[in-house]
Structure 1
Amino acid sequence: MGFFTDTSICIGCKACEVACKEWNQVPDDGFVFRATSYDNTGSLGADTWRHVAFIEQPGRARDGREPGGPDGTGSAGSNGAGSNGAGSNGGFEDIEGWLMSSDVCKHCTHAACLDVCPTGALFRTEFDTVVVQADVCNGCGYCVPACPYGVIDRRERDGRAFKCTMCHDRQVGGLEPACAKACPTDSIQFGPLDELRARAAERLERLHADGRSEARLYGADPGDGVGGDGAFFLLLDEPEVYGLPPDPVVTTRDLPAMWGWAAGAALSMAGAVAISFLGRSR
């Protein structure tokens, strides 16, 4: 089971964030006013399992140039509302519009967090999702740098790791996750991954036919560096614009080779020590 998030119809209402917090009893984020964006939560973390990103797109100059330099280089375009000219900066409209995207744990097919967890707190469920058992987590933090998306975080109050569970308890009861249930535009869709990937491909084809050539799928390819994501996205710009790595890879992919080299080095050292003792005995 998985998520398909169609960012082209996300309206930034943050209903998914609220539903996630209410159902999973996730603590507040500290109510920090960043004064840099309408996005009040900022990023995913131990206390933010769903994060709706507001990505402001710079406006064009009144003479048609785009911001970015004297030659007007830059880019713009969004699925949000355009600027009404209420403010300007050096002849440029402040904001032309917004890209909006509800981000979440990707529930990787090859999950590095599972590889490094020493206590078994992280496990793969019967729905092929990845869940943290808070009562088993010892707060070591190994999973935090292992995640290629920077999703997992430790809660400051007790040091344990937390992230999206894809509402495992609701799935067990035959219900869809709270965020998908609350989404008013069906931007967040939940179901079997094969069905979601087919639906996403059809949606992408329609957008391309409508002239939205910049639209692309992210995390839907089972042949990518993490074996495909259990939560994938339709984006309207480059992944980096959304704060996503362009080519994610499972961070533990080299562990078998590293252990092999370590074992070889240990055997070589043991052999050298044995030869040394044999030489002395003679």
Structure 2
Amino acid sequence: MSDRLFGPLADVSGDAGYDEHPPRMGFFTDTSICIGCKACEVACKEWNELPADRVGFTGTSYDNTTELGADTWRHVAFVEKTVTTVDLGLPGIGPPEDRDDGSIAWLMSSDVCKHCTHAACLDVCPTGALFRTEFGTVVVQDDICNGCGYCIPACPYGVIDQRKDDGRAFKCTMCYDRLKVGEEPACAKACPTDSIQFGPLDELRDRAGRRVDELHAKGVDVARLYGADPTDGVGGDGAFFLLLDEPEVYGLPPDPIVTTRDLGSMWRHVGAAAGALAGLAVASFLGRRR
């Protein structure tokens, strides 16, 4: 894979063939101010005309969608957490005088496609249904998708899903149609607390870093960024998060990697093996003729 895809100066749109393009756009989701209202889910479904998903009791009364899927491109997770002494005073949990050690609180986070710097789904798509936009985002063209499903296991976050009726893959487009006319994505526009922030990715990373410093200064030492590091296993994400616990608590992989990172070497080994077999076959044939 190209070295340009990793590091702070990664130009994913340039690598995708756009000579002139706007700055890379993205999402910064600050979970410390998410109130779990699910306005982002509703706005996403309304704008993208997505069908209802998992209607009825799911076993988790506060979460009617439970996970990202072909018909749910934004998902607000409600993570039930037993409060410990170290958690008292966290945003959303409250000051120590209001809660006791061992009580129950909620961590809330609006999850979405990460629009990876190096997106394995792009590597494996055989039809070109998946493509990189001029904004650096990753979009599935449902009229080109043939339902092969290769992108599903390729995604390190388990974001992409297939509709059961026709097998085509769907996921967040970061409202590509809205971006093209200068509008922000529907989820960010609907968020009442600015937990979901949209803008140029470099600016969002700077803003997120300042937010973490602010929380640390207030004693919230557990605050950390997830997906903002351009040197991580996927070259950083176009949608990253401020978390108040370990990634696994939110259902996120702790160390995501590009699932296709070894494809090049694999094909080279396959080619070398095929060449060796062909050489043996020729040698055997010539030996028999003698």
Relative to the length of structure 1, the TM-score reads 0.89
The reply on whether 1:115 has 2:123 as its aligned counterpart is yes
Say if 1:79 and 1:98, in contact at 8 Å, map to a contact too: no
Q: For 1:37-56, list aligned pairs within 5 A.
A: 37-56=61-80
The reply on whether 1:241 has 2:241 as its aligned counterpart is no
Secondary structure of the corresponding residue to residue 180 of structure 1:
helix
Say if 1:120 and 1:136, in contact at 8 Å, map to a contact too: yes
What is the Cα deviation at residue 57 of structure 1?
Answer: 1.0
Say which of 8, 13, 18 aligns to 2:37.
Answer: 13
Distance 2:226 2:120 in 1: 19
The reply on whether 1:28 has 2:36 as its aligned counterpart is no
Give CA deviations for 1:138-197 in whole Å, capped at 9, x if unaligned. 000000000000000001121100000000000001000000000000000000000000
Q: For 1:3-152, list aligned pairs within 5 A.
A: 3-58=27-82, 79-80=91-92, 96-152=104-160
Q: For 1:222-233, list aligned pairs within 5 A.
A: 222-233=230-241
Distance 2:166 2:126 in 1: 18
Count the aligned residue pairs: 259
Distance 1:277 1:267 in 2: 15
Tell me the C-alpha RMSD between the 2 structures.
Answer: 1.5
Letter paired with 1:6 = D
Secondary structure of the corresponding residue to residue 257 of structure 2:
coil
Letter paired with 2:250 = Y
The reply on whether 1:272 has 2:284 as its aligned counterpart is no
Distance 1:27 1:237 in 2: 32
Matching residue of 1:259: 267
Q: For 1:202-217, list aligned pairs within 5 A.
A: 202-217=210-225
Relative to the length of structure 2, the TM-score reads 0.86
Letter paired with 1:57 = K
Say if 1:239 and 1:246, in contact at 8 Å, map to a contact too: yes
Give CA deviations for 1:57-103 in whole Å, capped at 9, x if unaligned. 1257xxxxx9xxxxxxxx85664357xxxxxxxxx96x521000000
Say if 2:87 and 2:93, in contact at 8 Å, map to a contact too: no
Letter paired with 2:159 = V
Structure 1 ranges of 4+ moved more than 2 A? 75-82
